[in-house]
Structure 1
């Protein structure tokens, strides 16, 4: 009996899964494998909120495979060693996997390829699984990637996404391949109280509700903090419980969505944009994409400001509300992320990496490409064509939370955008002047 293997990574679904469908077409039986990667544990990336959400995802994936006659095989350890071990146990000739983007994923992929080939096996890497358009497919004439979103989006919009694949009806798994126990959310300590449920079932339910009831209003409400009118699909996209290709195709086909669908699809294009930047410039995960020669603040006063920011007691209600939401839900509204990030990087003039690390410590959708490059965009060291823009937290609150609904939701008893809470850690005029002197002329706050 011919056997192949599917290594699940950030694609924890059975719907629209090219590696799974290819493996099923190629052989009589398939080993669906997920490795709890101890290498990721060593990097500090496996934080409680994402570990808990992952546990939900793996439980749901196992259930989906069992409904089709299969099961999920779970191992723990170094990925290359575990994949080779399971392949030998099952007699698998091919291993199918979705292409990675980060430097870590690509190094792991190359090591896996060499190890499998040395044992007479083959690694098959599939593009367009975790993104709509694979990194490197769209490039300008003089570079290996687009550094500005607008021209990228123009080309991205003209690209025809691949066809969406249905879930397989039957998944046959060979006997005799052992599995570790599935992880469980209840065994993870330090999880945010309001963390949403993970898994493909929850993701598809949320996607269906969004396409039915939310997307048509998205163009006019996605920045309305009080309305909470975004899709909240980011964690499902990060873990791959929802296919970005299916989401784009269904959004474009949604009845009456119009401008809402266009605005939403544009956000999915931003996700692909960041992935193609990171794929071309892996160092951007930790280093400035475009250095501004910043002299970031350090020392006791800066550390005190950082701690106030983390704890949501800066004295600026919108910033503090955003940080309280992050801690409670492991998630934050996109507009609030921009304001909170701008406040740390430009108003407090603290290294963007400090904020990016805190976000990754808590965000369930903490994705290296999106998180790091969005932080750099706000800090002005990334792809923003206006690197010195500063988001005034009071003006942003008046514009996007005019009646204080969002602030009161996360800061009960607050007087709204301009009152209540602790004394501001810094005056906005003073902070803007400090930023200008450190970096150079700044544009007016928006």
Structure 2
């Protein structure tokens, strides 16, 4: 059983199928090809290690263990298969370009390889429009997604029987895998932490999700993104438990996954080229990354990202629109920064959302611009979100915190907060 992006024992179809055998070797391979690139962002490494430690404890509670290896996944699986005389391999069916390459290599080992769903609610490619290979517009995809049948929830194995003589191996340390520090307020990873968060959100906030999910200061979104990205929480179970508006967000995730499966260049190339010239303003880009644009709602979002490895979804839209529309900077620069910090950084979802905001992706309104001041007055009317993350403005009362440049000059100088780096309508 090769764990990849399904780090859980509950509702894991591949694990359920693997554990029907007399003996099962659960394994996770740290792939050096990923650890040497942007996938090894410190926040995701920290979250991954939490998730693996939790998964190992759960498997031990079922009588098994998590075998940990490092190297090429196909080579390490082949070595283990020879050691235990394995004949079959189970794993989650992941349709990213990397996932398809990995699966092809595994299928060349001579094992009976079975890839089962679990990474998304509806697997990419299961829903296709008439005359096309994937949906290019969300609304018809959403209708098809809602009408689609759901796989049954997989049973949690009662027992995991690990063959004798298999050395599980230690989990590597954070320092072994990442360069740099994780965000100070990063959430704890793992299936148990994810299920606690899901249960608390369902109990306290899910009923009001549609009304409050865009309220920046309320902070009542599910915050399940990293748990779903790493498969600590089953997206299938989350979709069944959550309200309609939440299911729609999971459908957006599935939508981007099926776009990326059909257009693997999504993180690098315009899905719909607009022949736009991007500005190359390194100073403006640095100010945006550091939360020093002088536009409080933008800076609050960027500082939340650095502090927590997370950013409120509405703030993600505002900050991305500001970079691409107000500053005219290439969406790929924004994507690289987000992916360097987001614990829930996901190639398909992040690239799809950045392109949607930039007007090069699947938006039916590619010319739409989100005015940051209008967004702030609507989604942070009291200014509490800004005051939470921009301490220079903590003493500015009321909604005027969103326009500190309108304060008297002596008060502005005393704040130590920069003026806007661009004119705003």
TM-score by length of 2: 0.94
- The Cα offsets for residues 384-435 of structure 1, whole Å up to 9 and x where unpaired, read as 0111111111110000000001000000241321116211111024xxxxxx
SS in 2 for 1:193: coil
Paired with 1:392 and 1:249, the residues of 2 have a C-alpha distance of 35
- The equivalent of 2:164 in structure 1 is 175
- SS of structure 1 residue aligned to 2:68: strand
| Distance in 1 between residues matched to 2:187 and 2:198, nearest whole Å | 14
Corresponding residue for residue 423 of structure 1: 419
Aligned-residue offset at 1:166: 2.8
User: CA offset at residue 105 of structure 1?
Assistant: 1.3
Q: Distance in 2 between matches of 1:154 and 1:184?
A: 45
Verify the 8 A CA contact 1:53 1:198 in the aligned structure 2.
Answer: yes
**1:185 CA drift (Å):** 4.8
1:9-408 matches, cutoff 5 A: 9-25=4-20, 27-114=21-108, 116-117=109-110, 121-127=111-117, 129-185=118-174, 189-251=180-242, 261-298=243-280, 302-408=281-387
Contact 2:297–2:372 (CA under 8 A) maintained in structure 1 = yes
Q: Distance in 1 between matches of 2:170 and 2:96?
A: 28
TM superposition shift of 1:43: 2.6
Moved over 2 A (4+): 183-189
CA distance in 2, matches of 1:291, 1:232: 33
Q: CA deviation at 1:38?
A: 0.4
What's the CA shift string for 1:288-331, capped at 9, x where partnerless? 10000111112xxx000000000000010000000000000000
| Conservation of the 8 A alpha-carbon contact between 1:56 and 1:184 | no
Provide structure 1 residue ranges, at least 5 long, that are not aligned to the other structure. 1-5, 252-260, 430-446
CA RMSD of aligned residues (A): 1.2
How many residues are aligned here? 406
Q: Distance in 1 between matches of 2:159 and 2:378?
A: 52
SS at match of 1:107: helix
CA shift, 1:235, in A, is 0.2
For residues 361 and 243 of structure 1, the distance between their equivalents in structure 2, rounded to whole angstroms, comes to 24
Conserved in 1, the CA contact under 8 Å of 2:267 and 2:332? no
Hey, what's the Cα distance between the residues in 2 that align with 1:409 and 1:90? 55
For 1:440, the equivalent position in structure 2 comes to none
TM-score (norm 1): 0.89
Partner residue of 2:411? none
